[in-house]
């Protein structure tokens, strides 16, 4: 089908965008990459009266490396961030986001704002303990990942607010990350997925082990598995705990039980891979580094 | 009900084109209905089938998930722009013909645009990379085997020609990763 009619706004500055959003109130919707919004419009599952197209707001097309991590502006497309962020976990996860043609248009911040519990990036932001910077005509605020994802397809953004950037903290030295998911076809929404981060101390002992799970709860599920991994050989206990905490739904693609089973396998696989990377000698590949193909 | 319309200009296959359309006009419909370029096919209209894939400033995108007005002023290459002006098929088109990489042809424009960019960015893809590269395009006829064969035929040896001759307008702009404006 075709999108329903809407009033179209094409701001060129952040100020103009926020003014348009404020005026539109609850009837306004932001268009960035459109790879989730336009399907909803085409299927007429969404019919906002006012569409604020931020594609001309050049100030939002940013990708900035800061000492503590990477700041991704609202117009940075998946493909660019995949090539240029230098953040290993973002790169590992972005490979799994839909297909190249979608990644050429879709934006990282847009995916976060869409808050799909089966999407990769919310789980990545959540496991890293990142945050989203939000602006409106009345000011700015920072929303931590833990409170940004409110429910399925529901973020903490209020009417009139625009997510202007997301901050993905970098990983410390002697740490490793891994991402794995299972989908019926590469690029499809995953049945379940896991983003894992393992940190070690100088002696090689685990000081932190966390996973962010997707597709198995209403919002990204972050689990701290540090106690299990500190005790050597407690992988089986960690997997059992992960399966216990997940609350997957069953659908035509997979039963809830199968998703729970799968999640345990993916958790074990990613934790083991992240641990191996953290343990490997040499300069850590898991801090934010330069030298990606795009630079 | 008078819906507001806009004069929207794009460069399509190297030629400046413009037409009047409402803001909700999808790029796919703009190309087909307003500019008469019906080579771009529309299948699912929600980003799953890949038939409507075109090149935007050289990079593949779903034209059904893009509003024409959003990409005003940009360069679009459709399947009509892949062959040389004299009608000589591009290397990708020739390989699809030689390997019987199409049957009904409905999905073919999307595959050709996708594969043109795939081989430009990775001139010697492995079979796994080809599979991943075309995973966003559905074909209901071929069973994919001959499509994969066509792409791999360019990956082995012939890829040099593919790089040099390019695929018409599509290769004039190397994807830089920072093409977004």
Within a domain: A287: no
Per-residue pLDDT at B2: 83
Count of structural domains within chain A: 3
Does residue B178 carry a pLDDT above 50? no
Within a domain: A252: yes
Same domain, A197 and A274: yes
Which range is least confidently modeled, A253-267, B43-57, B109-123, B164-178?
B164-178
- Which residues have CB under 8 Å from A77's CB, separation 6+? A33, A103, A104, A105, A106, A107, A108, B180
Using CA atoms, how far apart are residues A249 and A221, in angstroms rounded to an integer?
14
Same domain, A243 and A161: no
Within a domain: A115: yes
* Burial grade of A26 (CB within 10 A; 0-12, 13-18, 19 or more): exposed
Within a domain: A80: yes
User: What's the complex ipTM?
Assistant: 0.91
Same domain, A212 and A197: yes
Question: Mind listing the pLDDT tens digit for each residue in A207-257?
Answer: 999 999 999 999 999 999 999 988 866 788 999 999 999 999 999 999 999
Residue appearing with tokens 């990204």: A220
Same domain, A160 and A94: yes
Name the residue range of residue A34's domain. 7-53
CATH number at residue A156: 3.30.465.10
Same domain, A31 and A68: no
Within a domain: A295: no
Per-residue pLDDT at B161: 45
Per-residue pLDDT at B140: 96
CB contact under 8 A, B65 and A10: no
Q: Is B60 helix (H, G, I), strand (E, B) or coil?
A: strand
Last residue of a domain, one of A169, A203, A231: A169
**A67 backbone dihedrals φ, ψ, rounded to 5°:** -50, -40
Give how far B88 is from chain A: nearest CA, Å: 26
Per-residue pLDDT, averaged over A65-71, amounts to: 95
pTM score:
0.91
Within a domain: A289: no
Same domain, A70 and A155: yes
Same domain, A66 and A139: yes
Per-residue pLDDT at A294: 37
Q: B93 or B164: which carries more pLDDT confidence? A: B93
What 3 state SS string does chain A have?
A: CCCCCCEEECCCCHHHHHHHHHHHHHHEEEECCCCCHHHHHHCCCCCCCEEEEHHHCHHHCCEEEECCEEEEECCCEHHHHHHHCCCHHHHHHHCCCCCHHHHCCCEHHHHHHHCCCCCHHHHHHHHHCCEEEEEECCEEEEEEHHHHEEECCEECCCCCCEEEEEEEECCCCCEEEEEEEECCCCCCCCCEEEEEEEEECCCCCEEEEEEEEECCCCCCEEEECHHHHHCCCCHHHHHHHHHHHCCCCCCCCCCHHHHHHHHHHHHHHHHHHHHHHHHCCCCCCCCCCCCCCCC
Residues of A engaging B, defined by a Cβ cutoff of 8 Å: 1-8, 10, 31, 34-35, 38-39, 41-43, 51, 53, 55, 58, 61, 75-77, 79-80, 83-84, 98-102, 104-105, 185-187, 293-294
Within a domain: A66: yes
List the domains of chain B with CATH numbers.
5-81 (3.10.20.30), 91-164 (1.10.150.120)
Using CA atoms, how far apart are residues B129 and A102, in angstroms rounded to an integer?
17
CATH number at residue A18: 3.30.43.10
Question: Mind listing the pLDDT tens digit for each residue in A117-153?
Answer: 999 999 999 999 999 999 999 999 999 999 999 999 9
Last residue of a domain, one of A150, A169, A188: A169
Does residue B61 carry a pLDDT above 70? yes
CATH number at residue A181: 3.30.390.50
Per-residue pLDDT at B165: 47
Same domain, A233 and A184: yes
Within a domain: A73: yes
Give how far A153 is from chain B: nearest CA, Å: 18
Per-residue pLDDT, averaged over A26-55, amounts to: 97
Query: For residue A164, what pLDDT band results from cuts at 50, 70 and 90?
Result: very high
Same domain, A35 and A70: no
């Amino acid at each position: 089908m075709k999108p329903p009619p809407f009033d179209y706004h094409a701001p060129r500055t952040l100020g103009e965008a926020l003014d348009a959003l404020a005026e539109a109130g609850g009837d306004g919707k932001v268009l960035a990459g459109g790879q989730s919004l336009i399907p909803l419009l085409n299927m007429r599952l969404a019919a906002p009266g006012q569409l604020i197209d931020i594609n001309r707001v050049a100030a939002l097309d940013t990708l900035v490396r800061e000492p503590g991590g990477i700041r991704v502006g609202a117009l940075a497309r998946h493909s660019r961030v995949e090539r240029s962020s230098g953040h290993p976990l973002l790169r590992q996860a972005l490979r799994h986001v839909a297909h190249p043609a979608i990644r050429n248009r879709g934006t990282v911040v847009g995916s976060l704002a869409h808050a799909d519990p089966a999407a990769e990036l919310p789980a990545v932001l959540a496991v890293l303990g990142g945050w989203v910077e939000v602006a409106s005509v009345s000011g700015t605020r920072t929303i931590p990942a833990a409170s940004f994802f409110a429910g399925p397809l529901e973020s903490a953004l209020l009417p009139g607010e625009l997510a202007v950037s997301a901050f993905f903290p970098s990983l410390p030295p002697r740490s490793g990350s891994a991402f794995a998911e299972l989908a019926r076809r590469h690029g499809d929404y995953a049945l379940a997925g896991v983003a894992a981060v393992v940190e070690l101390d100088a002696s090689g002992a685990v000081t932190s082990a966390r996973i962010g799970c997707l597709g198995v709860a209403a919002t990204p599920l972050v689990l701290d598995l540090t106690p299990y991994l500190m005790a050597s050989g407690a992988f089986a206990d960690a997997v059992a705990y992960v399966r216990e905490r997940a609350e997957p739904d069953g659908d035509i693609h997979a039963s809830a039980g199968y998703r729970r089973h799968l999640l345990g396998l993916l958790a074990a696989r990613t934790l083991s891979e992240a641990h191996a990377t953290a343990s490997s000698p040499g300069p850590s590949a898991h801090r934010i580094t330069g030298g990606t193909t795009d630079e | 009900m008078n819906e507001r319309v806009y004069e929207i200009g794009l460069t399509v296959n190297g030629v400046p084109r413009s037409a009047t359309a409402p803001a909700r006009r999808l790029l796919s419909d703009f190309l087909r209905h307003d500019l008469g370029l019906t080579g771009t096919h529309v299948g699912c209209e929600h980003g799953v089938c890949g038939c409507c894939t075109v090149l935007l400033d050289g990079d593949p995108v779903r034209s059904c998930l893009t509003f024409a007005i959003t990409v005003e002023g940009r360069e679009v290459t459709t399947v009509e722009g892949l062959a040389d002006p004299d009608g000589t098929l591009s290397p990708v088109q020739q390989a699809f013909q030689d390997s019987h990489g199409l049957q009904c042809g409905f999905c073919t424009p999307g595959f050709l645009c996708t594969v043109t960019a795939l081989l430009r960015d990775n001139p010697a893809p492995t079979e796994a990379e080809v599979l991943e590269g075309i995973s966003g395009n559905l074909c209901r006829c071929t069973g994919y085997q001959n499509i994969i064969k066509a792409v791999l035929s360019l990956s082995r040896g012939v890829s040099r020609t593919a790089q040099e001759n390019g695929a018409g307008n599509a290769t004039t702009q190397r994807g830089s990763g920072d093409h977004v404006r």
